[in-house]
Amino acid sequence: MAALRFLTAGESHGRLLTAVVDGCPARLRLTAESIDRDLRRRQMGYGRGPRMQIEVDRAQITAGVRYGRTTGAPIAMTIANRDAENWADVLSVEPVDAPAEPVRVPRPGHADLGGALLYGSPDLRDVIERASARETAARVACGAVARRILEDVGCGVVSHVVRVGDVAIEPGRLPAPGIDDDPLRCADPEVSERMRAAIDDAAAAGDTLGGVFEVVATGFPPGVGSYVQGDRRLGVRLTAAVMSIPAIRGVEIGLGFAAAALPGSAVHDEIAWDERDGYRRTSNRSGGIEGGMSTGEPIVLRAAMKPIATLRRPLHSVELESHRPVEARYERSDVCAVPAASVVGEAAVALCLADALVDRFGSATIDELTDAVTAARRRCRDA
């Protein structure tokens, strides 16, 4: 069982999303404002659909926090869906006399068909509502709690978009301060322009685009994770966390797939020691993880997002039961959501790293955790 775990609930157009974070150390400073900041960042980005103008996400903390500090109890949060009143009848919890027209055409690239086969619902609405990426708002709220834990031990988690469709930045660029001001969350303004043009072209053609984002975690202590069992490897936990985001199709750490084409001398990081920092690497091609554990260098991972599956120029599908060939329905949708996904990626990484820390240092209070991390850093330096 994870030391710091979370659950989300809620439908895309239901009354509200609910998130619960369990295992957060007590006495951590936490306000709704620190959560709203990340919720706002998830809503930004060029290529988003009209929904982002309807929803202005705000978290309400309903349990686990008193006078701005966590108590050690589960933290519960809700995020209202502002469009919900228009869907009140369609998504009524109680039975209604006149149910909404069922959705019967599964959209390719979505959970629709698999969900209908799995749960046997005669109305795809049951699948669409929960499989929607609206859930990632609740995940970002949980990630904001994890971010607060990490901040107190001197660890920051940032991200940037490194590719949209076939437009990519030079490898090796790092997320720059002020990255949130760029509509693509891209570190190179000229490349950002070209990404925007690519999204415009795709939108004009009724098409969509995917891309790649990179998440960088700095200041994470060495020696977290383990090699003794496969499922305790930090890289396994991180890639699984990021792969759990809808539409993510691959995750690589450090050089990732590129390492397969290079000789060992161009892949591995040499070890050095100095008085101030202790052990360090002269390069960081491993992306901060070796032998299933953190090295103390920045953790760097990239995730590939598939293009949005809802196309204005619809794909072919088959109606449930009648089996008649039809075109997939178009419901308002993003053309490209890679900038938003990068913020969700930060949340996934933050949750995973905070869990690994609490797992490693097992602390009831945030002060115990920060003291344990400081002591471990000192031990690692002098080892």
Ligand X SMILES: Cc1cc2nc3c(=O)[nH]c(=O)nc-3n(C[C@H](O)[C@H](O)[C@H](O)COP(=O)(O)O)c2cc1C
Write the single-letter amino acid at 246: P
Closest distance of CB 47 from ligand X, Å: 9
Residue 34 binding ligand X, by CB under 6 A: no
Within residues 85-124, the interface with ligand X by CB under 6 A covers 110-111
Residue 39 binding ligand X, by CB under 6 A: no
Among 300, 340, 347, 350, binds ligand X (CB under 6 A): 340
Evaluate the CA torsion angle 359, 365, 366, 372 in order and state its sign: negative
Buried-state track 26-44, b at ≥16 Cβ within 10 A, e below 16: bbbebebeebbebbebbbb
Residue 209 binding ligand X, by CB under 6 A: no
**Choices 98-106, 118-126, 225-233, 339-347 (CB under 6 A): range interacting with ligand X:** 339-347
**Choices 196-204, 214-222, 233-241, 340-348 (CB under 6 A): range interacting with ligand X:** 340-348
* CA 198 vs CA 192, 318, 320: distances in Å: 10, 31, 35
Buried-state track 102-121, b at ≥16 Cβ within 10 A, e below 16: ebbbbbebbbbbebbeeeee
Among 308, 336, 347, 373, binds ligand X (CB under 6 A): 308
Closest distance of CB 31 from ligand X, Å: 24
Residue 284 binding ligand X, by CB under 6 A: no
Residue 41 binding ligand X, by CB under 6 A: no
Please give the Cα distance from 165 to 158 (Å, whole number). 22
Closest distance of CB 44 from ligand X, Å: 11
Please give the Cα distance from 77 to 20 (Å, whole number). 6
Looking at beta carbons, which pairs linking 189-192 to residues 24 or more positions away fall under 8 Å?
191/167
Within residues 123-152, the interface with ligand X by CB under 6 A covers 131, 133, 136
* Paired tokens of 172: 């090796």
Count of CB atoms situated within 10 Å of the CB of 325: 9
Among 180, 334, 355, 359, binds ligand X (CB under 6 A): 334
Q: Which residues bind ligand X (CB under 6 A)?
A: 49, 110-111, 131, 133, 136, 245-247, 308-310, 333-334, 337, 340-341, 344
